[in-house]
Amino acid sequence: MATLPLKVSDIAPDFTLKDQAGVPHTLSSLRGKWVLVYFYPKDDTPGCTKEACAIRDRWPDFAKRGIVVLGISTDTEASHRKFAAKYQLPFTLLADPQKEVVRQYGVFGAKKFMGQEYMGVARTSFLVGPDGAIARVYEKVKPEIHAEEVLADLASRGVV
């Protein structure tokens, strides 16, 4: 993956994508709220499941702070629906099968696994502030601790 084109203080690029129920969500409509936009490679794979379940398990802490969580992958709405139901995910998963938003955010590109190179989504998150600006970029996210990391960042910003 190349260097991300987005950095802290940039206005997060707006997008509209459909969720697991086919309902469209637009990032700019969430101004005034903290939003975690997390990109993940694929539904129902080990790392992605760990990350989603860690957020699910800390959901009460996100909810009481009014944090909106948007998980985005290139999977379909139907795939997201099964993934969300299987793991009882209480937050929104957005489908980007055309790969428009993952490219816009600079998280889609060449990856390597076991010596093989392929194109895919890098596990990356963006914490977007109420003003629409990126407050934090998380690269090479560790799925097991990501929810804790985001909650600690929010607490350090006085979002409690």
CATH number assigned to the domain comprising residue 132 = 3.40.30.10
As a whole number, mean pLDDT of residues 8-26 equals 97
Tokens of 28: 């700019």
Task: State the pLDDT at residue 94.
Answer: 98
* Alpha carbon distance 149, 132 (integer Å): 20
Mean pLDDT along residues 3-22: 93
Q: What pLDDT does residue 160 have?
A: 82
Span 102-120, mean pLDDT? 89
**What pLDDT is recorded for position 110?**
85
Q: Is residue 106 a part of any domain in this protein? A: yes
Percent of the chain exceeding pLDDT 90 equals 89
Q: Are 27 and 126 in contact (CB under 8 A)?
A: no
Q: Which residue type sits at 150?
A: V
Average per-residue pLDDT for the chain: 95
When divided into structural domains, the chain yields a total of 1
- Cα separation, 95 vs 57, whole angstroms: 22
For the record, the structure tokens of 6 come out as 């987005």
User: What is the arithmetic mean of pLDDT over 17-22?
Assistant: 97
Kindly state the percentage of the chain with pLDDT values over 70. Answer: 98
Residue 121 lies in a domain: yes
Enter the pTM of the model: 0.94
Nearest to 123 by CA among 61, 47, 64, 58: 47
Q: Which of 18, 17, 49, 10 is nearest to 127 (CA)?
A: 10
Task: Assess if residue 1 is contained within a domain.
Answer: no
Q: What is the pLDDT of residue 56?
A: 98
Selection from 93, 96, 74 nearest residue 84 by Cα: 93
**Residue 82 domain-assigned (yes or no):** yes
Catalytic positions, written as ranges: 48
| Predicted pLDDT of residue 4 | 76
Domain that holds residue 81: 17-156
Which among 60, 68, 73 is positioned nearest to 124, based on CA atoms?
Answer: 73
Helix residue spans in 67-140 (DSSP H): 77-87, 100-104
Output the pLDDT for position 1: 45
Residue 9, domain member (yes or no): no
Whole-number Å distance between alpha carbons of 134 and 3:
16
Q: Is residue 81 part of a domain?
A: yes
- pLDDT > 80? residue 3: no
Segment 78-96 shows an average pLDDT of 98
